């Protein structure tokens, strides 16, 4: 079969979608979503269809119902777009269809993954001996890192947790900050530590763990700190936390899904001073590095701890010394390395730094513009995150509805210290100063409209 026409059609449709992003509304209109839902509410047909026909059908019903989250005016959650080199590489690597489990299965997938990791460890200024792997995102990176932590602290207490589980194991003291990300709690639950059976350290007004309020640490212990609060962008005080962990033999894990990238900018790096002293880190590529979904990284100082937690052997798998599959929760997995390498190769160190700084400048512009319009900014804008204060959750919901009706931009709701807020995260390579100005105007318009009702 000649695949050229089909693949060229797919590329043309994808390019058309991207070219239209800037001119379209950010959220899809209700009619497009309703049309999608009804088109998909059909049973599996008896007979197959031509690939070109399938593609045309998926494009026709799917594209209009997409959210323009890879465009320049989507500020919800922490959402990056996709750098052109990363997108094109993703398409190419999809054609390769490699399994990144072992080197035997794909030398190319494994080679790119190793280089992606090495380049990122270097960009973050970590010790070159750090190891890790590409996973689906920071949730699985947190889970993987905490599995390594669980292995390590229990092994030191004479317990083999992979073999014997947690029943009867020495109790592990698990410490989190009051502003811990929900996915860290989820990871702790998956690992048998419990989402709630943790010591919670109070946070300060920016959401930073208060190092002076750390409990007395007693090994086996795991402390979960954070680089980049999901609302405020604030960083925990890693120096004093690392001191306490080192003194007690506790494992220090840092959830740095987006904030850890600050280390790759000389201007932002001081925010994360001391973070390099941790034992493990979770980082996303699909957020601030602007690779396609899904890609995140688990990084550990001691690769043996992660390998002991993850690896298994089966004679038929022909595994060699240490495979990516020895460092990940999944076995068969897509090759995410090429697109991460492509993003980094197209940016270079300078371009990465410039992307990070630019997003933070835009966040500052949002805070200034909205502040001048009389809206209260609830956080110290130190990174790419801005929280705007409102009267109530109902007011924020009405505001978001008005923003969606307008279509210029999208931001999500939040709660910050008990107050309702609109959350703005600038994480896309696409966002320009003009996007920020237009979005500020749209937000101010929507606020007036809601308040006039
Ligand atoms: C986004 C985020 C996560 C979860 O990452 P996923 O990529 O969605 O799995 C964890 N922690 C923080 C701080 C985040 O911002």
Ligand 1 pocket check for 183: Cβ under 6 Å: yes
Residue 8 CB neighbour total at 10 angstroms:
10
| Beta carbons within 8 Å of 336's beta carbon, 6+ residues apart | 100, 113, 116, 134, 285, 291, 294, 295
| Per-residue b or e along 425-451, where b marks 16 or more CB atoms closer than 10 Å to that residue's CB | bbbbbbbeeebbeebbebbbebbeebe
Ligand 1 pocket check for 284: Cβ under 6 Å: yes
Ligand 1 pocket check for 137: Cβ under 6 Å: yes
Kindly report the length of the chain.
453
| Beta carbons within 8 Å of 65's beta carbon, 6+ residues apart | 28, 32, 33, 35, 36
**pLDDT for residue 167:** 97
Please answer whether residues 72 and 22 qualify as being in contact, where contact means their C-beta atoms are separated by less than 8 angstroms.
yes
**pLDDT for residue 411:** 98
Distance CA 375, CA 369 (A): 9
Ligand 1 pocket check for 404: Cβ under 6 Å: no
Ligand 1 pocket check for 139: Cβ under 6 Å: yes
Distance CA 7, CA 169 (A): 54
Check whether 208 has a pLDDT greater than 90: yes
> For residue range 231-279, what is the model confidence (pLDDT) as tens digits?
999 999 999 999 999 999 999 999 999 999 999 999 999 999 999 999 9
> For residue range 296-311, what is the model confidence (pLDDT) as tens digits?
999 999 999 999 999 9
**pLDDT for residue 289:** 98
Mean pLDDT computed over every residue of the chain: 98
CA–centroid distance, 255 to ligand 1, in Å, is: 8
Please answer whether residues 391 and 415 qualify as being in contact, where contact means their C-beta atoms are separated by less than 8 angstroms.
no
Ligand 1 pocket check for 179: Cβ under 6 Å: no
**To test ligand 1's pocket by mutation, which of 135, 144, 187, 257 has the most ligand atoms within 8 angstroms of CB?**
257
Check whether 1 has a pLDDT greater than 90: no
Band (pLDDT 50/70/90 cuts) for residue 205 is very high
CA–centroid distance, 334 to ligand 1, in Å, is: 20
Distance CA 40, CA 61 (A): 9
> For residue range 346-404, what is the model confidence (pLDDT) as tens digits?
999 999 999 999 999 999 999 999 999 999 999 999 999 999 999 999 999 999 999 99
CA–centroid distance, 57 to ligand 1, in Å, is: 33
**pLDDT for residue 201:** 98
134 beta partners: 297
User: Which ligand 1 atom is the nearest neighbour of the CA of 296?
Assistant: 7
**To test ligand 1's pocket by mutation, which of 80, 135, 230 has the most ligand atoms within 8 angstroms of CB?**
230
Residue that is written with structure tokens 């994808």 in the block: 14
User: Which ligand 1 atom is the nearest neighbour of the CA of 229?
Assistant: 13
Band (pLDDT 50/70/90 cuts) for residue 321 is confident
Band (pLDDT 50/70/90 cuts) for residue 320 is confident
For ligand 1, atom 14, name the residue with the nearest CA.
Answer: 257
Mean pLDDT of 80-106: 98
> For residue range 30-75, what is the model confidence (pLDDT) as tens digits?
999 999 999 999 999 999 999 999 999 999 999 999 999 999 999 9
Band (pLDDT 50/70/90 cuts) for residue 325 is very high
Could you tell me what percent of the chain has a pLDDT over 90? 98
CA–centroid distance, 445 to ligand 1, in Å, is: 31
For ligand 1, atom 2, name the residue with the nearest CA.
Answer: 257
Check whether 204 has a pLDDT greater than 90: yes
**pLDDT for residue 110:** 97
**pLDDT for residue 254:** 99
């Amino acid at each position: 079969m000649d695949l050229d026409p089909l693949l060229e059609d797919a590329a043309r449709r994808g390019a058309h979608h991207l070219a239209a992003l800037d001119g379209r509304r950010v959220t899809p209109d209700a009619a497009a979503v309703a049309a999608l839902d009804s088109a998909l509410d059909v049973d599996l047909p008896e007979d197959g269809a031509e690939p070109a026909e399938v593609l045309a059908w998926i494009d026709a019903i799917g594209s209009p119902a997409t959210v323009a989250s890879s465009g320049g005016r989507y500020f919800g959650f922490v959402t990056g777009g996709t750098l052109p080199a990363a997108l094109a590489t993703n398409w190419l690597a999809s054609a390769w269809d490699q399994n990144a489990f072992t080197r035997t299965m794909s030398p190319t997938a494994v080679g790119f993954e190793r280089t992606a990791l090495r380049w990122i460890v270097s960009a973050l200024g970590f010790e070159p001996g750090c190891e890790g792997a590409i996973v689906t995102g920071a949730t699985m990176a947190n889970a993987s890192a905490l599995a390594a932590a669980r292995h390590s602290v229990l092994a030191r207490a004479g317990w083999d947790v992979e073999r014997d589980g947690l029943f009867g194991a020495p109790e592990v003291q698990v410490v989190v900050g009051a502003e811990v990300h929900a996915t860290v709690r989820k990871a702790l639950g998956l690992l048998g530590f419990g989402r709630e059976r943790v010591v919670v350290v109070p946070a300060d007004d920016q959401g930073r763990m208060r190092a002076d309020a750390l409990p007395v640490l007693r090994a086996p212990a795991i402390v979960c700190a954070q680089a980049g609060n999901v609302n405020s962008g604030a960083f925990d005080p890693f120096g004093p936390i690392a001191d306490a962990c080192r003194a007690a033999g506790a494992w220090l894990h840092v959830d740095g899904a987006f904030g850890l990238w600050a280390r790759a900018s000389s201007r932002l790096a001081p925010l994360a001073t001391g973070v390099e002293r941790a034992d493990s880190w979770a980082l996303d590529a699909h957020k601030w590095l602007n690779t396609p979904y899904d890609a995140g990284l688990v990084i550990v100082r001691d690769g043996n701890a992660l390998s002991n937690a993850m690896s298994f052997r089966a004679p038929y798998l022909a595994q060699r010394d240490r495979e990516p599959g020895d460092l990940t929760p999944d076995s068969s997995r897509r090759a995410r390395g090429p697109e991460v390498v492509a993003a980094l190769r197209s940016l270079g160190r300078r371009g990465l730094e410039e992307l990070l700084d630019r997003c933070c400048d835009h966040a500052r512009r949002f805070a200034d513009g909205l502040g001048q319009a009389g809206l209260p900014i609830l956080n110290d804008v130190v990174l790419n995150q801005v929280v705007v204060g409102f009267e109530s959750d109902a007011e924020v919901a009405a505001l978001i509805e008005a923003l969606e009706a307008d279509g210029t931009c999208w931001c999500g709701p939040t709660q910050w210290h008990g107050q309702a807020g609109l959350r703005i995260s600038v994480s896309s390579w696409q966002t320009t100063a003009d996007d920020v100005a237009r979005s500020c105007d749209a937000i101010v318009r929507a606020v007036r409209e809601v308040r006039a009702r």
